[in-house]
Chain A
């Protein structure tokens, strides 16, 4: 299924004006903070409305300014993992995950939740409150919750930024597995170039509300088309710094294996 995004919105400090497309793969929106990456995610989800444009997933139109179509977030059947994870603090892990099963019958929902917890290895945290679990565990709960409904597209806003380096590897691997298994478009926002390179099938580089380059991560990194991008790559210290075993090449190939 293809996800096509064409949006324009005037913000305080810049004008967001982007147009891109992707299929069932993992795409990364990369760039400095404040460039419009998270905003794009929010618009795909229907939490923020563009001034004009069209957002389409497969043959379902989420938003089209000309036709006046605007689907509510509830009706877009997507999965969203927020930057702060947004786990409900008054519900246990199990209840949080159950809450993601909107529209599913009670018994089926319960068995699905149990299966999710087993698969994401959080079964023993079942009755704990979010306040009492680690960052990596919270991540997995948020992901499990978002996947309960078998969403048609998965959006993640800087999901790994608060995690320890050692945890990120496992999460990255998990995310790639999920993408392959569900076979849906996955859009990931990050400002970490190593992460982008390791996970992305395709990358869109944002700067001040515009896309300055897009393509495969390796192409972009080795052949930046603008001074700005070159500076970006440099400032990520990609070349000068050992990327640390976490995103080391052999592992990257493993993560990026094509089905």
Chain B
């Protein structure tokens, strides 16, 4: 396998890890919010966050361009202020993976939090502990299996992300071509044996990482 393929593999691992880290950070917090608080418009917000699960990734990618492209709602002020834009950067690949993996984490962790015995939470409050301490010391440890499952799912999804990444980050060899994009390119130009080699490599590496994550996660709980 040549240098370009190793680059793509490394890029995929970096992008997926980074996206998963952000998904953990925001996903667990959002899941807590949805599970514990009631507010107006909650179901609408929940639906918005679930959308990337339902839409074809290319459509999600299109909406990401509308939001974060140079002429986008968030992209334009960003570009005008800093001269920097998301499009065609590896950061865009992280953003795309983050957006499509987030709903997986939110759904999984929310269900786990909702299944924590409410009396345990009430007991913690009566013992004087704040909502924050209760979340850290009681709720999250007991929802741990869900958090691990969500992390594994998110990482897997990020490793395989194609449509939204292609849209927002582009397929630029040596810069933004993650494994799925690289395989697409190579397959597109008919080099099937090379594509097969990359597919096998991606499968083996991903499978290994998922296996390790599952074992490690089980030991945590």
Contacts and interface: CB of A to CB of B under 8 A. Distances in A.
Interface string A89-116: 1100000000110110000000000000
Interface in A42-58: 45-47
A88 interface: yes
Contacts of B124: 99
Contacts of B137: 99
A86 B125 contact: no
Contacts of B125: 46-47, 72-74
A72 B134 CA distance: 14
Interface string B29-72: 00000000000000000000000000000000000000000000
B218 to A, nearest CB: 15
A149 to B, nearest CB: 6
Interface residues of B, number: 16
A99 B127 CA distance: 8
B130 interface: yes
Interface in B107-150: 117, 119-120, 122-130, 137-138, 141-142
Contacts, number: 53
Given A84-B119, A86-B117, A145 B126 contact: no
B128 A86 contact: no
B138 to A, nearest CB: 6
B141 A86 contact: no
Interface of B: 117, 119-120, 122-130, 137-138, 141-142
Interface of A: 45-47, 72-74, 76-80, 82, 84, 86, 88-90, 99-100, 102-103, 145-146, 148-149
